[in-house]
A and B are shown apart, each in its own frame.
Chain A
Amino acid sequence: EPEVTQTPSHQVTQMGQEVILRCVPISNHLYFYWYRQILGQKVEFLVSFYNNEISEKSEIFDDQFSVERPDGSNFTLKIRSTKLEDSAMYFCASSEPRATDTQYFGPGTRLTVL
């Protein structure tokens, strides 16, 4: 069964550094998403992406965040200058051509900011 993959599984970085989290969505999917889950808290929506542009974003997704689909397979989340409070599990998801379709989630990247 096709699945969403994410790399790395765990990223440790120093505060102020830039990180790029990578995701490979399911190949025929057209909608892409990033969520995060701070330890012990809810899963929170960050951003959705369709047709090479952001379609929705939450208040969390401020100027330090950006997303990109640099080629036909990868979908990346960049955090420009990491803060301690960015430490969380970041999940990528993708869905089929209609936004109503089921979102398939990757296993997540655990980001630790020191």
Chain B
Amino acid sequence: AQSVTQPDIHITVSEGASLELRCNYSYGATPYLFWYVQSPGQGLQLLLKYFSGDTLVQGIKGFEAEFKRSQSSFNLRKPSVHWSDAAEYFCAVGERGSYIPTFGRGTSLIVHP
């Protein structure tokens, strides 16, 4: 069965700084990969997804993620963080043939002014 590890429970950055949230997965084949964001009181919103093709994926709100098969990673990046990016971020993996994601525990992003 697939699994996802998000090693950072909390990340604190200053507004305007760059951001990288780590995600490692365990799966025998090439997985489907997702990043979701959850703002307080809101549901999960899909930021981006990787199914196949270009390993650098562009998402909404200026986010991107890169699939690195050799490292079993799918890290999320943003060049300049805004205060409104403060939220919980979830990485998820899905197995081929099923689009049901298995979620990581999440990383809480705190943005200082």
Query: Complex formed: what's the CA distance from A93 to B45 in Å?
Result: 10
The prevalent SS among residues of B at the interface is loop
Chain A proximity mask over B70-101: 1 for CB below 8 Å, otherwise 0: 00000000000000000000101000001111
B106 to chain A: which residues have CB within 8 Å? 42-43
A100–B44 touching, CB < 8 Å: no
Interface size on B, as a range, is: 20 to 34
A100 in contact with B103 given A105-B45, A107-B42 (CB within 8 Å) = no
Which chain B positions have C-beta within 8 A of A103? 46, 99
Docked-complex contact A56 and B46, CB < 8 angstroms: no
A68 contact set on B, CB distance < 8 A: none
Residues of B within 8 A of A48 (CB): 100
Closest residue of chain A to B103 (Cβ to Cβ) is A43
Query: Chain A 101-114 against B: per-residue CB contact (8 Å), 1 yes, 0 no?
Result: 01111111000000
In the complex the two chains form, what is the Cα distance from A79 to B49 in whole Å? 32
- Bound form: Cα–Cα A68–B46 in Å: 25
Q: Is the CB of B43 within 8 A of A4?
A: yes
Interface residues of A in 18-73 (CB under 8 A from B): 33, 41-45, 48, 56
Q: Which residues does chain B contribute within 8 Å of A75, judged by CB atoms?
A: none
A84 interface residue (CB < 8 Å to B)? no
Q: Please give the residue numbers on chain B whose beta carbons come within 8 Å of chain A beta carbons, in ascending order.
A: 36, 41-46, 49, 51, 90, 92, 98-106
Q: List 13 A-B contacts (CB under 8 A).
A: A42-B103, A42-B105, A43-B44, A56-B98, A56-B100, A91-B43, A93-B44, A100-B99, A102-B49, A104-B43, A104-B46, A106-B43, A108-B43
